[in-house]
Structure 1
Amino acid sequence: MNLSRRQLLAASTVAGATLAVPGVANANVVRRDRPGLPSGIMSGDVSTNSAVVWSRTDRRARMVVDLTSNGRFDRAVRLHGPVTGPDQDFTAQLPLKGLRPGQRYDYRIAFEDAWGRRGESLEGSFSTPGRNRGLSFVWTGDTAGQGFGINPEIGGMAAYKAMHETRPDFFLHSGDNIYADGPIEAEVAIPDGTVWKNVVTEEVSKVAETLAEYRGRYKYNLLDENVKSLYADVPILSQWDDHETLNNWYPGEILTDDRYTEKRVDVLAQRSRQAFLEYLPMVHSAGRNRIYRRVSYGPLLDVFCLDMRTYRGANPVPSTVGPVAMLGAEQAEWLVREAAASKATWKVIASDMPLGILVPDGDLIEAVANGLPGAPGGRELEIAWVLSQFKKRKVRNAVWLTADVHYAAANHYDPSRATFTDFDPFWEFVAGPVNAGTFGPNALDPTFGPEAVFVKAADFPNQPPSGGNQFFGYVEIDPRTGVFTVSLRNLFGKVLWTKDITPAHH
């Protein structure tokens, strides 16, 4: 093991675990009288020296993790994680600290019942970023939207398989991990005359309102073998947007939707947030309830995961002149401060909503852009402040990545085309959906001077994944030159467009 015993003891203390004698367990025979693993395993928020591993069992039991850095489980260190039960929907997470940079780790997760009997075990892996290694990752959003779930006839959620085949270091899910507000039925009639067929469960048959129904959405996605296989092999970096709760929601909203018996969005959001935090492994460094965070991938990359949902004001009318919160003052100041302090070559701003693409909510504004020429108004004011602070504080090589709008695009923003000019030029890349209806393209707002350099949208509105127009992005950073190469790809992994960006030096 390359981990020192002191480091691992520190890890187990942080996790509330106890370090036991390394164990040997090879045969993975599933026995009904032992704890099972119905939803696979996952790792998340892997940085240079830390990670979080996750799984779910089917009864009250204690999580047990064997960790090794050489693929040899006979030399693994055994870590005991938390005891889980119905209060956590039998999910468990274990933070790992004191890891070595630039190291591949293999882990095995099982659960022990009250008699100390271990059940089913599954193996996964992740790699910590290192100083002289390149880095690659994929990103997308929008899973199981518009009633398009797991279709066995097209091999399930096939874009997850295409992402997995790129062998990325991590997967950034840019939001809409689930569609809690979209029932999934056995068959969906498509305008082109075809029929889409879904695997269905009782928990996805209606809009999610109860905690059990929100949890059921995550369990549903984890029935897909492509999803499970990617998650066992590739760490996830998760964001949350609207559909984890319901479409276009904001704090304080009261619903008029007849499908809901609970009309208070704040009550639904609290349940949805609990399910999100239970089912996705992440570091809760600043308190369990804060979803925005920075994850460091060494000298090449820092990722700033934004939360554009929790702190927003009510969706405004387009003509709103005064400020409307999107990030909220505290998060906006955090983003500027952390990005300015970052020593990484590249700063990826993982934004769950686009900046210059118009996203309406009926007659209201759902995203940042208000669709009007002229000076910033509404939510644009907060983003204008962030962009001008980036310029003032010399934040170089910031790239914005997003999903949300259900088509792929490469948008370049330049003050020479803009109404608001106090910012440095930057790129915003849009990917998704990964398994949902495809739409677009949407109109661009002139305030920050975006130009659509590349767009690939649906052949017809709400096109199903079987049409092939599902999209993800792939990024590779060269350790020698620092060049940031981004490509936009389709359901089959075919490269549709690519761009090399050379880093600007201070």
Structure 2
Amino acid sequence: MSKFTRRSFLVTGIAAGAAAGIPAAAHADPGPAQESAASSASLASRGLRSDPFTLGVACGDPDSGGFVIWTRLAPQPLAEDGLGGMPARPFAVEWHVYGDERGRRPLRRGVAVAAPEWGHSVHVELEGLPSDRDYWYRFKVGPYLSPMGRARTAPHALSHGSALAMAFVSCAQYEHGYFTAYGRLAEERPDLILHLGDYQYEYRRDTYTIPGGNVRHHEGPETESLANYRQRHAQYKTDPDLQAAHAAAPWLVVWDDHELDNNWADEVPEKPEVPQPNFLARREAAFRAYYENMPLRRAAIPRGVDMQLYRRVRWGRMATFHMLDTRQYRSDQGCGDGYSDCPAAADPARSITGDAQERWLLDGMRRSEARWDVIGQQVFFAQRDNNAGPAKITSQDAWDGYVASRQRITQGWVDAEVRNPVVLTGDVHAHWASDLKLDYDDPTTRTVGSELVASSITTGGDGLDSDPAAHPYLTINPHLKFYNNQRGYVLTRIERDRLTADFKVLPQVTRPGAAAHTKATFVIEDRVPGVQRTYLRPVDPSAARTPGIDWIQETVDLETKRP
């Protein structure tokens, strides 16, 4: 590990930032220390009588030279005013980055400003660190010390690096269960975690219920104001399992609908027939609170009702993550939000990404030199018809409601000869694995990509274990290869020659403490689009080539069912 002899400093720009209505910058650049500047601004810890680090710490958006580290001060996190019990003035927050988990090898340190205008959140962007290695970080205010978090830099742009352990999750309704799956994910110690939306839910207590009743309860009303959203984010972040998952690895986050309003589309709320003159103010508040509570870079600072969330994150030459926003720019759902045979779904003028984001994605895939091009996004990508007859009954809130968008993007990666396109999805509260096609109505056409879908962390309650082959969707849609309706997450291992996905499930979430196990494993081979299921089968010890090996893993072709 290289040693750093120059101290890092904070470029605060407090006055300029406040005047512009944006949070003070917090960049860790080489140069003389400026702790004295923070002290002269009367940013001492006076007035804090209890631990302000009740929401934990987080890291996000890593690149080959750095990452973002985050915290938010809130000694009383559930305060109704959304201010977390903090005095209405800025505070100086020390940050430290280490080369070891015990904090014995300090590498960087500085001072950031937690301002009341931004919920006393802190976002520090680290730069200039050696690539492809682990780091640890924490924060300090007065006598109070935050938990330690783990960060990681990506491999150098010209290096594949070692195998990438990446997990992805979605849909955590606090009332529907305990966040045990987050705790189990933290124990996996992945290199990177993708959250694909519905990080928090907007409903007031007991509006969205599960059979038998909710096991926990939301504080406050349905989220509409900035104070409401701040309080709700804080309530979720007080959960120890969620804090553990944030502290375990860097995250890449994108939203879906519940971070604002169920099934919203651009400037249209869920129920446009009901007058909602405050919807744009609600959108602005939700976006601001989302930035305040997530480990996002400065480029994501919201500007009124707009927030730049789609972005590209490169993991050396192994993988490029194209993180999409399928809410902020989409056309309104054509025939309502549910399942229907909707003529508007095929209208080429309608888009789920918006024109600018679509061009950005297609250009990025054309230019990509990565082994794996991974699209991290929110809603089901493959066709999912629930009708065995001639009518096509599909979800209008998913890509099925925007068929032309899906066709243009799929054709775009085919034309660009993308080596390994993989779509990652959340939203539907169940595990799925799917082959992607240019023509879903003709199952004999070639497969051109793969989709992996993560179940929910809690949404829907415990769910049910079932025979995945018996689900009617799999019969109607032969490109759909796997289904499971338990809660959990997907843990992947990305290597040069394959991507392996373990679908992890928990037997229940309405009681805490459940263990996670692998329900199914799928493999995507390099340059072989489509998912292949793998099985462990027992081996006769007398016939085993290697003594002590009791099981072997084999891949099964899902068309022929043969190894």
TM-score by length of 2: 0.73
For residue 228 of structure 2, what is the aligned residue in structure 1? 213
1:15 correspondence with 2:26: yes
When residues 248 and 255 of structure 1 are mapped into structure 2, their CA distance, relative to the original with a 3 A threshold, is: closer
For residue 402 of structure 1, what is the aligned residue in structure 2? 425
Query: Counterpart amino acid of 1:273?
Result: F
Cα distance, 1:100 vs structure 2: 1.1
Which of the residues 52, 55, 59 maps onto 1:36? 52
Alpha-carbon distance in 1 for matches of 2:250, 2:7:
21
Alpha-carbon distance in 2 for matches of 1:253, 1:119:
43
Cα deviation digits, residues 112-155 of structure 1 (max 9, x gap): xxxxx35333211122233432110111100116x425xxxxxx
SS in 2 for 1:399: strand
SS in 1 for 2:399: coil
Q: Is the 8 A contact 2:98 2:108 kept in 1?
A: no
Alpha-carbon distance in 2 for matches of 1:296, 1:363:
34
For residue 188 of structure 2, what is the aligned residue in structure 1? 166
Cα deviation digits, residues 239-295 of structure 1 (max 9, x gap): 10100011111123256599x995543222211111111101122447652000111
For residue 488 of structure 2, what is the aligned residue in structure 1? 471
When residues 273 and 12 of structure 1 are mapped into structure 2, their CA distance, relative to the original with a 3 A threshold, is: closer
For residue 197 of structure 2, what is the aligned residue in structure 1? 175
Q: Is the 8 A contact 1:49 1:100 kept in 2?
A: yes
1:148 correspondence with 2:176: yes
Q: Is the 8 A contact 1:140 1:174 kept in 2?
A: yes
For residue 396 of structure 2, what is the aligned residue in structure 1? 365
Q: Is the 8 A contact 1:43 1:231 kept in 2?
A: yes
For residue 152 of structure 1, what is the aligned residue in structure 2? none
For residue 123 of structure 1, what is the aligned residue in structure 2? 148
Q: Is the 8 A contact 1:284 1:291 kept in 2?
A: no
Which of the residues 279, 283, 287 maps onto 2:297? 283
1:2 correspondence with 2:2: yes
When residues 500 and 443 of structure 1 are mapped into structure 2, their CA distance, relative to the original with a 3 A threshold, is: closer
SS in 1 for 2:167: strand
For residue 368 of structure 2, what is the aligned residue in structure 1? 342
Q: Is the 8 A contact 1:355 1:368 kept in 2?
A: yes
Q: Is the 8 A contact 1:143 1:433 kept in 2?
A: yes
Query: Counterpart amino acid of 1:307?
Result: D
Cα deviation digits, residues 208-229 of structure 1 (max 9, x gap): 1111111112111111111111
For residue 138 of structure 1, what is the aligned residue in structure 2? 167
Alpha-carbon distance in 1 for matches of 2:48, 2:62:
33
For residue 266 of structure 2, what is the aligned residue in structure 1? 251
For residue 498 of structure 1, what is the aligned residue in structure 2? 521
Q: Is the 8 A contact 2:377 2:424 kept in 1?
A: yes
Unaligned runs of 5+ in 2: 14-24, 36-46, 75-85, 336-341, 387-392, 465-470, 507-514, 530-563
1:197 correspondence with 2:215: yes
Cα deviation digits, residues 7-54 of structure 1 (max 9, x gap): 9569999735675499xxxxxxxx953662111111111222220000
| Bigger Rg over Cα | 2
Cα distance, 1:188 vs structure 2: 9.3
For residue 416 of structure 2, what is the aligned residue in structure 1? 393
Query: Counterpart amino acid of 1:336?
Result: L
Q: Is the 8 A contact 2:254 2:323 kept in 1?
A: yes
When residues 161 and 19 of structure 1 are mapped into structure 2, their CA distance, relative to the original with a 3 A threshold, is: farther
Query: Counterpart amino acid of 2:223?
Result: A
Q: Is the 8 A contact 1:138 1:170 kept in 2?
A: yes
When residues 95 and 419 of structure 1 are mapped into structure 2, their CA distance, relative to the original with a 3 A threshold, is: same
* Counterparts of residues 196-345 of structure 1 (less than 5 Å): 196-198=214-216, 200=217, 202-203=219-220, 206-253=221-268, 256=271, 263-285=277-299, 288=302, 289-317=307-335, 318-320=342-344, 321-322=346-347, 323-345=349-371
* Counterparts of residues 80-91 of structure 1 (less than 5 Å): 80-91=110-121
When residues 505 and 97 of structure 1 are mapped into structure 2, their CA distance, relative to the original with a 3 A threshold, is: farther
For residue 436 of structure 2, what is the aligned residue in structure 1? 413
SS in 1 for 2:435: strand
Alpha-carbon distance in 1 for matches of 2:110, 2:237:
24
Alpha-carbon distance in 1 for matches of 2:139, 2:505:
33
When residues 189 and 56 of structure 1 are mapped into structure 2, their CA distance, relative to the original with a 3 A threshold, is: closer
Query: Counterpart amino acid of 1:138?
Result: A
Alpha-carbon distance in 1 for matches of 2:218, 2:414:
50
Unaligned runs of 5+ in 1: 23-30, 112-116, 150-155, 371-378, 458-468
Q: Is the 8 A contact 1:251 1:266 kept in 2?
A: no
Give the stretch that moved more between structures: 166-175 or 1-10.
1-10
Q: Is the 8 A contact 1:104 1:125 kept in 2?
A: yes
Alpha-carbon distance in 2 for matches of 1:444, 1:312:
28
SS in 2 for 1:122: coil
Alpha-carbon distance in 2 for matches of 1:7, 1:380:
53
Cα distance, 1:421 vs structure 2: 10
Q: Is the 8 A contact 2:9 2:34 kept in 1?
A: no
Cα distance, 1:77 vs structure 2: 4.0
Alpha-carbon distance in 1 for matches of 2:442, 2:4:
56
1:184 correspondence with 2:200: no
Cα distance, 1:351 vs structure 2: 1.4
Alpha-carbon distance in 1 for matches of 2:237, 2:180:
14
**Percent identity (aligned):** 23
Q: Is the 8 A contact 1:251 1:312 kept in 2?
A: yes
SS in 2 for 1:171: strand
Alpha-carbon distance in 2 for matches of 1:213, 1:68:
36
When residues 118 and 409 of structure 1 are mapped into structure 2, their CA distance, relative to the original with a 3 A threshold, is: same
When residues 333 and 66 of structure 1 are mapped into structure 2, their CA distance, relative to the original with a 3 A threshold, is: same
Query: Counterpart amino acid of 1:52?
Result: V
When residues 161 and 168 of structure 1 are mapped into structure 2, their CA distance, relative to the original with a 3 A threshold, is: same
1:68 correspondence with 2:98: yes
1:56 correspondence with 2:72: yes
Query: Counterpart amino acid of 2:168?
Result: W
Alpha-carbon distance in 1 for matches of 2:460, 2:483:
16
Query: Counterpart amino acid of 1:102?
Result: D
Cα distance, 1:342 vs structure 2: 1.8
SS in 2 for 1:312: coil
Query: Counterpart amino acid of 2:241?
Result: N
SS in 1 for 2:503: strand
Alpha-carbon distance in 2 for matches of 1:165, 1:437:
24
When residues 78 and 48 of structure 1 are mapped into structure 2, their CA distance, relative to the original with a 3 A threshold, is: closer
SS in 2 for 1:276: helix
